[in-house]
């Protein structure tokens, strides 16, 4: 199969290799080097999509990321929605179809790899056109570390589109030679198929590299498909080129209407003529490059319609030489055709308005309204833009200390100017880095005559009856019309930012590259204000669409979030534990025996702890070593109770509050020595508590001589719990006198457990006789195994977090963050005893005196016993006073915070925060559930061993 | 009664086989059970001088490590160093340091099992680390002896440059994150292993 619209000799494609692809169900061919768009055009296919709102047929309007129309869904080899046909490199076996604005996410997981690479450098150059290449080369020759990124598969940028020469040879040969030299430099990284999409603080630029997309099904699975480069550059040069701007006129959205420069690119880069008979509508000199290139490639130019009264004689002469009619002072007012354009309507457009219309037959209408420098990234970096009235464009107002622009990105139009620009910008950049440069002479470009001024023309008035602009599309992807802009200004909107939100112009995948400045121009005209004052909308990252998969990179599956495990983890896995995620930790949840349900396993584990002996892995508890002469002073100020009076060898429970007096963490404090304490925090708060303590120490009390050191992971902590725990401990700690008198509750001893140096604390989070055995983490498994073996004759049972919760809840030991929510004081938890009356001050103390904290109807922690002891209340359920739910608003008395089945109590129970809870003890309240209420009796929170008789065994 | 010293398990016990299958150009070994002490002292203070006299080295300045002696010193913060020594030296070393410090204000805390140490060597090391670490490992920026605390992927690490151009580094990682870091490093080598 041949491509009817392919030329014999233009372009950078491999005509010797044919690729087969399917679009909208039809099989076509193309060549390596094609994009999907160029291959479709080579086959004469213009209509590739439909408008999202009105369903009108849409064609290919551009040749790059600025394309507003040609959105496609890739179906094979891997499904991907909403790519622009102009940026999809063609590969064999590609199956795609056109979209009506919205794509469809695959319901299959994407098997491809995505990854990230950090790339620090001295100078980042974005864009490998003439300006970017000359900048990168100058930087590389100075010995700087350079990264050059470019979105195309080959270097050259705009040079790929035309017939320019440098030093008498094809300019693209120069581009290749420069790139070869750069690639040979050890300190230079050249990234093609890579688009910079975001400029962030401190010179961080993110770029997306499409590494294997162009290989289709042949892409190797072990190579990442796409990569996010995190480039940290000391200096950045944006040589990002410019995007051509259309002019709005009636029915300007037909297939076959294309930007003039894009048609030139299709010819120069791909060897494709986009039509046989073209009308060219321009406001400036640049479109004449397309006119001459296309005419010389055999396209019949039916007319050049130039809005200017005066056109440079050399251009008129070049056209005359080729028999091309140029109509100066004329515009295209509209188009006709069944779908694709078949006729352009041309009229004179002078000071007195539109003249008489005349039809010119064509199958291609090329439009140029001027060029907008690609300033999105420069603007993201904080660069100011200024309106250039001659170009009708916003251009960089000047360089930033670390960010510069060069070439068409700063409004330079000639090739020689772009080459010089690149050298200038990078010379300034290098000099800011104190690097000396000897710029090599730039290659000689053909002398470019000075460009004649363009005519700034945003739109052509509608010649038809009916509302002006009602068939003139501004944002083709959003199907937004000139009349939509007028509706916005008519509604009183004065800011282009507001007009953008009102009309959705510029919010599609193309970020308004062809519609943004046009909108500013139309708004300025409608309001009668200066566009320079009005400005344009802000640029925000990402500048191009980036797949979430690329952002996620390798942070998926088992690497999604770090999984933290304790030293005992392998034993838990070996013994069939199921795990609960607690923050990033994997903690054993319970250890089911064969055939056991969770309820059965937990009841068994609870019974062992209450009646025999049980142990768990408590290593995740946060642990902080506090040392220094003022350690006691610091702890007195941060805990609600007094810590400085603790004797070495003893342990005290403590609560920390925020400045608002609300409980923020609890744990135990042991006094190791006169100037050394060791405290524990809850698992989830370990880092936060250390930071909290450091913040007070460093910012409020720097005079205190205290050092805080996290030792969380140095220790494995094993709570050994139950009436027989003393006997088991005695077996593995032969040097320890375990008797109650020698080793009383809330004391600790350093000893040897199973041969390992251990710190054993008599602490109980269950109400039972219990010990917490701390050993260096690497001894953890050996000690755990020794305990397991020593405990076997006693029926020692391992238990997980669920049993831990049941045991502590039966004793009403709160979990900060589960039974509290940041609005609960120690007093609300029934722990007034932990709040010192003696201390002059501590964090949170002042707040306890606030009227709100003194209210009699504060929510307080109580227990709830369901009337039906088999009924397990859902945590979070709301509590009301009546057995039927009254009409809203329903007075809520509180909510269930913890709820379990208890082996010891022979039924279910819950903890709850209830308004005036302690005064309601004995009352019946109701838990409102979906479609019913459950009666519960309010009870003292401590339900098991109220006297505390069991803790001494 | 004699009690045997228990068998120790390091956080990456069992990973060596996996590490041995890494591509040529990257060699990873865990150096387990090193003595590690957290030293907090005001630089230049009498206590700091006492510590330096005891160790026989000058405490290194910001972002540097002294790896020359048997007791190595890693700068972790303006008044914080990690002292790293061969296994089972913590009691002896801490005792000597505390004795030298005397009544001055400086603290020593045994954190030996808090972190494990990974030794990475080979010419791929720098590029593999660049896949998840923002630190510039160019030898002109981070010469041998550089020591930084940073993120590798999503885990905090202290990184010591031991060979030119990061051809050899130590990564000190919290024990609970060690298997995450190991999993990440092995996955980061996928591309070098080739298609299979």
DSSP annotation string for B38-104: EEE--TTSHHHHHHHHHHTSPPP-TTBEE-SSSSEEEEEETTEEEEEESTT-HHHHHHHHHHHHTTS
Cis peptide before A516 (omega within 30 of 0): no
Q: What residues in B contact A202, CB-CB < 8 Å?
A: none
Residue range A622-710 in CATH 3.90.1150.10: no
Topology (CATH) of A465-528: Arc Repressor Mutant, subunit A (1.10.10)
- Report how far residue A531's alpha carbon sits from residue A538's, in angstroms, rounded to the nearest whole number: 15
Query: For an interface test with A, which of B2, B8, B154, B183 has the most A Cβ atoms less than 10 Å from its Cβ?
Result: B8
- CATH node for A1-109: 3.10.20.440
CA B173-B175-B177 angle, 5° bins = 70
Alpha helices by DSSP H, A336-414: 376-380
Of the candidates A678, A675, A660, the one whose C-alpha atom is nearest the C-alpha of residue A772 is A678
- Across the interface, of B6, B131, B155, the residue whose CB is closest to A755 is B6
Using left for φ > 0, alpha for ψ between -120 and 50, and beta otherwise, residue A535 falls in: left
Chosen CATH of A855-939 out of 3.40.50.300, 3.30.70.60, 2.60.40.10, 2.40.30.110:
2.40.30.110
Residue of A nearest to B111 (CA): A714
Helix A496-503 to helix A482-490 angle (10° resolution) is 120
Confirm if A517 and A245 have CB atoms less than 8 A apart.
Answer: yes
Please give the average pLDDT of every successive group of 10 residues along chain A, which has 953 residues. 88 96 98 98 97 96 97 92 96 96 87 96 98 97 97 97 94 97 97 98 97 95 97 98 98 98 98 98 97 98 97 97 97 96 97 93 98 97 96 96 98 95 97 89 85 93 86 97 97 96 95 95 96 94 95 96 98 98 96 97 97 98 98 98 97 97 97 97 95 98 98 98 98 97 97 97 97 98 98 98 97 96 96 93 95 93 97 97 94 97 95 97 96 96 94 88
pLDDT at position A439: 77
Residue of A nearest to B156 (CA): A562
CB pairs A-B closer than 8 Å: 134
Residue of A nearest to B190 (CA): A222
Provide the residue ranges of all domains of chain A, joining segments of one domain with +: 1-109, 112-244+372-433+544-560, 246-369+454-462, 465-528, 570-619+714-799, 622-710, 855-939
- Report how far residue A685's alpha carbon sits from residue A667's, in angstroms, rounded to the nearest whole number: 11
B8 touches chain A (CB under 8 A): yes
Radius of gyration of chain B (CA): 18
Structural class in CATH, domain A246-369+454-462 = alpha beta
Which architecture, in CATH terms, is B34-111?
A: 2-Layer Sandwich (3.30)
Locate tokens 């250039």: which residue?
A388
Q: What residues in B contact A117, CB-CB < 8 Å?
A: 130-131
Provide the residue ranges of all domains of chain B, joining segments of one domain with +: 14-32+114-190, 34-111
A600: its two tokens: 């059965």
b vs e for B104-135, b when ≥16 Cβ sit within 10 Å of the residue's Cβ? Answer: ebbbbbbbbbbbbbbebbbebbbbbbbbbbeb
Q: What residues in B contact A781, CB-CB < 8 Å?
A: 7, 9
Locate tokens 């005066």: which residue?
A310
For A112-244+372-433+544-560, which CATH superfamily applies?
FAD/NAD(P)-binding domain (3.50.50.60)
Q: What residues in A contact B179, CB-CB < 8 Å?
A: 563, 565
pLDDT tens digits for A743-760?
999 999 999 999 999 999
Provide the shortest C-alpha distance from residue B6 to chain A (in Å): 6
pLDDT at position B195: 57
Helix/strand/coil for A204: strand
Chosen CATH of B14-32+114-190 out of 3.30.1360.120, 2.40.50.140, 2.60.40.10, 3.40.50.300:
3.30.1360.120
Low-confidence residues in chain B, pLDDT < 70: 1-4, 195-196
Topology (CATH) of A570-619+714-799: Gyrase A; domain 2 (3.30.1360)
Provide the shortest C-alpha distance from residue A630 to chain B (in Å): 10
pLDDT at position A78: 86
Residue of A nearest to B133 (CA): A118
Chain-centroid distance of CA A424 in Å reads: 35
- Across the interface, of B9, B14, B184, the residue whose CB is closest to A559 is B184
Provide the shortest C-alpha distance from residue B108 to chain A (in Å): 9
Provide the shortest C-alpha distance from residue A776 to chain B (in Å): 6
Contact (CB<8Å) B38/A783: no
Residue of B nearest to A204 (CA): B134
Helix A171-184 to helix A130-141 angle (10° resolution) is 30
Q: What residues in A contact B114, CB-CB < 8 Å?
A: 710-714, 777
Decide if A465-528 and A622-710 have a common fold: no
Contact (CB<8Å) A779/B6: yes
E strand or H helix at A728, and its extent? helix A725-732
- The pTM assigned to this predicted structure is 0.95
pLDDT at position A1: 52
Using left for φ > 0, alpha for ψ between -120 and 50, and beta otherwise, residue A79 falls in: beta
Of the candidates A651, A601, A654, A627, the one whose C-alpha atom is nearest the C-alpha of residue A801 is A601
Q: Which residues contact A735 (CB under 8 A, 6 or more apart)?
A: A751, A752
- Among residues 93-152 of chain B, which lie with CB inside 8 Å of chain A? 105, 107, 109-115, 130-134, 136, 138, 141
């Amino acid at each position: 199969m041949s491509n009817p619209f392919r030329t014999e000799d233009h372009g950078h494609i491999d005509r010797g290799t044919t690729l087969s692809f399917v679009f909208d169900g039809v099989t076509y061919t193309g060549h390596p080097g094609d994009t999907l768009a160029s291959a479709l055009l080579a086959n004469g296919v213009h209509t590739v999509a439909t408008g999202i709102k009105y369903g009108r047929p849409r064609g290919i309007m551009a040749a790059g990321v600025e394309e507003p129309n040609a959105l496609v869904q890739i179906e094979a080899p891997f499904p991907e929605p909403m790519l622009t046909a102009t940026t999809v490199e063609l590969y064999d076996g590609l199956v795609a179809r056109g979209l009506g604005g919205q794509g469809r996410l695959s319901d299959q997981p994407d098997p491809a790899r995505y990854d990230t690479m950090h790339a620090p450098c001295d100078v980042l150059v974005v864009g490998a056109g003439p300006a970017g290449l000359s900048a990168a080369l100058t930087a590389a020759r100075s010995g700087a570390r350079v990264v050059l990124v470019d979105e195309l598969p080959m270097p050259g940028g705009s040079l790929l589109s035309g017939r320019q020469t440098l030093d008498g040879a094809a300019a693209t040969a120069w581009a290749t030679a420069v790139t070869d030299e750069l690639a040979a430099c050890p300190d230079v990284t050249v990234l093609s198929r890579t688009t910079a999409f975001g400029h962030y603080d401190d010179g961080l630029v993110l770029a997306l590299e499409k590494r294997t997309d162009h290989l289709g099904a042949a892409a190797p699975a072990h190579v990442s498909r796409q990569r996010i480069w995190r480039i940290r550059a000391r200096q950045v040069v944006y040589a990002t080129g410019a995007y051509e701007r259309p002019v709005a006129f009636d029915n300007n959205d037909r297939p076959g209407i294309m930007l003039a420069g894009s048609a030139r690119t299709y010819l120069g880069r791909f060897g494709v003529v986009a039509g046989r008979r073209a009308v060219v509508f321009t406001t400036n000199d640049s479109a004449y490059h397309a006119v001459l290139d296309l005419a010389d490639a055999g396209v019949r130019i039916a007319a050049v319609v130039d809005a200017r009264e005066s056109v440079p004689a050399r251009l008129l002469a070049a056209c005359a030489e080729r028999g091309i009619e140029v109509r100066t002072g004329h515009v295209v007012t509209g188009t006709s055709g069944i779908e694709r354009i078949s006729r352009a309507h041309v009229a004179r457009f002078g000071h007195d308005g539109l003249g008489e219309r005349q039809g010119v037959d064509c199958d291609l209408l090329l439009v140029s309204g001027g060029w907008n420098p690609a300033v999105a990234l420069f603007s993201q970096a904080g660069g100011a833009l200024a309106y250039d009235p001659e170009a009708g464009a916003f251009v960089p107002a000047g360089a930033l200390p670390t960010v510069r622009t060069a070439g068409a990105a700063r409004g330079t139009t000639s090739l020689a100017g772009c080459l010089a620009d690149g050298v200038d910008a990078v010379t300034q950049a290098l000099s800011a880095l104190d690097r000396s440069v000897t710029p090599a002479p730039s290659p000689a470009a053909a002398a470019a005559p000075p460009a004649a001024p363009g005519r700034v023309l945003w739109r052509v008035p509608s010649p038809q009856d009916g509302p002006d602009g009602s068939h003139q599309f501004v944002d083709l992807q959003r199907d937004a019309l000139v009349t939509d802009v007028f509706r916005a200004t008519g509604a009183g909107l004065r800011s282009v930012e507001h007009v953008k939100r009102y009309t959705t112009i510029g919010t599609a995948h193309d970020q308004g590259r062809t519609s943004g400045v046009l909108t500013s121009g139309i708004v300025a005209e409608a309001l009668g204000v200066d566009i320079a004052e009005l400005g344009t909308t802000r640029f925000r990252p990402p500048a191009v669409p980036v797949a979430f998969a690329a952002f996620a990179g390798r942070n998926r599956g088992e690497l999604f979030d770090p999984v933290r495990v304790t030293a005992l983890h392998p034993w838990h896995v070996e013994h069939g534990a199921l795990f609960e995620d607690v923050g990033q930790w994997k903690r054993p949840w319970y250890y089911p025996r064969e055939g056991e349900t969770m309820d059965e396993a937990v009841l068994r584990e609870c019974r062992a702890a209450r009646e025999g002996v049980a142990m768990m892995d408590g290593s995740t508890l946060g642990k902080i070593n506090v040392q220094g002469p003022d350690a006691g002073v610091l702890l007195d100020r941060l805990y609600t109770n007094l810590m400085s009076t603790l004797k070495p060898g003893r342990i005290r429970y403590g609560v920390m509050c925020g400045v608002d007096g609300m409980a923020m963490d609890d744990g135990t404090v042991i006094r190791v020595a006169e100037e050394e304490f060791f405290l524990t925090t809850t698992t989830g708060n370990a880092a936060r508590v250390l930071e909290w303590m450091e913040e007070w120490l460093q910012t409020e009390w720097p005079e205190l001589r205290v050092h805080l050191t996290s030792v969380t992971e140095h220790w494995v902590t094993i709570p050994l719990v139950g009436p027989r725990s003393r006997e088991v401990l005695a077996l593995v700690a032969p040097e320890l006198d375990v008797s109650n008198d020698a080793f009383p509750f809330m004391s600790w001893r350093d000893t040897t457990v199973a041969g390992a140096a251990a710190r054993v604390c008599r602490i109980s989070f269950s109400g039972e006789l219990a010990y917490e055995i701390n050993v260096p983490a690497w001894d953890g498994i050996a000690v755990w195994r020794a305990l397991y073996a020593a405990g076997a004759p006693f029926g020692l049972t391992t238990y997980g977090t669920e049993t831990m919760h049941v045991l502590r809840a039966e004793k009403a030991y709160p979990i900060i963050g589960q039974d509290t929510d940041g609005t609960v004081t120690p007093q609300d938890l029934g722990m007034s005893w932990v709040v010192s009356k003696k201390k002059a001050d501590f964090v949170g103390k002042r707040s306890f005196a606030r009227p709100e904290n003194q209210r009699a109807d504060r929510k307080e922690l109580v227990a709830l016993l369901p009337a039906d002891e088999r009924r397990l209340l859902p945590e979070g359920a709301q509590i009301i006073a009546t057995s039927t739910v009254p009409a809203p608003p329903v007075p809520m008395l509180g909510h269930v915070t913890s709820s379990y089945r208890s082996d010891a109590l022979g039924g279910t129970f819950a903890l709850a925060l209830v308004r005036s809870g302690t005064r309601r003890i004995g009352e019946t309240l109701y838990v409102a559930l979906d479609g019913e209420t459950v009666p519960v009796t309010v009870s003292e929170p401590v339900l098991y061993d109220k006297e505390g008789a069991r803790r001494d065994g | 009664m004699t009690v045997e010293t228990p068998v120790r398990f390091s956080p990456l016990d069992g990973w060596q086989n996996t590490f041995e299958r890494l591509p040529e150009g990257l060699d990873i070994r865990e150096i387990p059970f090193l003595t590690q002490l957290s030293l907090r002292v005001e630089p230049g203070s009498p206590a700091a001088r006492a510590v330096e006299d005891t160790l026989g080295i000058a405490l290194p300045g910001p972002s540097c490590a002294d790896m020359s002696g048997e007791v190595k010193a890693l700068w972790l913060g303006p008044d914080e160093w990690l002292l790293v020594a061969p296994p089972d030296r913590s009691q002896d070393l801490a005792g000597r340091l505390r004795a030298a410090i005397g009544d001055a204000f400086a603290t020593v805390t045994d954190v030996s099992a808090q972190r494990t140490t990974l030794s990475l060597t080979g010419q791929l090391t720098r590029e593999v680390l660049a896949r998840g670490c923002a630190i510039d490992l160019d030898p002109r920026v981070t010469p041998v002896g550089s020591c930084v605390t940073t993120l590798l992927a999503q885990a905090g690490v202290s990184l010591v440059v031991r060979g030119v151009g990061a051809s050899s580094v130590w990564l000190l990682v919290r024990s609970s994150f060690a298997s995450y870091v190991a999993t990440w490093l092995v996955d980061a080598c996928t591309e070098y292993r080739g298609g299979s």
